[in-house]
Amino acid sequence: TDTIFRGKLMSIKDQVAIVTGSANGIGSAIARRYGREGCKVVVADIDSDGANAIANEINSDGGVAIAVATDVSDEAQVNSLFESAVSEFGTVDILVNNAGLISPMKHFLEADKNWWDMIVGVNLTGTFLCSLAAGKLMAKKGGGCIINMSSGGATRAHRCFVAYDATKGGIEAMSRAMALDLGPYGVRVNIM
């Protein structure tokens, strides 16, 4: 859709959007909508079959999309994701950091470091790695938009969600700091 930015009507048509965690759920809905609005969409997900299915659906509906299997907690895979996007479409204009883990849920007294590292690795480190790659590209060209997905877990506690809630609070704090650093380069950072 067209959006108002600094008093001007802006279109996202022909912009390149990477949506992580877009093989299903909210991410797939965002990817589909971007495709309908004329974006070139990079469907990124650890589930390669699901990512391919969404990209094929976008293409069948008249949009333009590719699928890139990506574990966002892995820096090499994130770098490969952005290389694929730039190779295919020339740039990245929009990044939606949607990839995230909610489960497995664990009571705090049953938690362990492996569980913590897994949730934090995808939700918080993955958002950082993807944002860093996008931020460097966007700052160099003088503009872009990074959208980080949060939830009520950022401000409200939930039983058995210590790691998840911590990552959502971290995403919101990180987003505010990123917005300060990237704003002078014309890069907007938003939290949804």
Task: Please identify every residue annotated as catalytic.
Answer: 164
CA distance 190 to 96: 10
C-alpha neighbours within 13 Å on the C-beta side of residue 115? 16
Q: CB–CB of 154/168 below 8 Å?
A: yes
**Contacts with 162 (C-beta within 8 Å, 6 or more apart), sequence order:** 106, 108, 111
Taken in order 172, 106, 130, 8, is the CA torsion positive or negative? Answer: negative
Q: Provide the Cα torsion 101, 102, 108, 112; round to 10°.
A: -30
Query: Residue 13 corresponds to which amino acid?
Result: K
**Contacts with 147 (C-beta within 8 Å, 6 or more apart), sequence order:** 94, 95, 96, 97, 189, 190, 191, 192
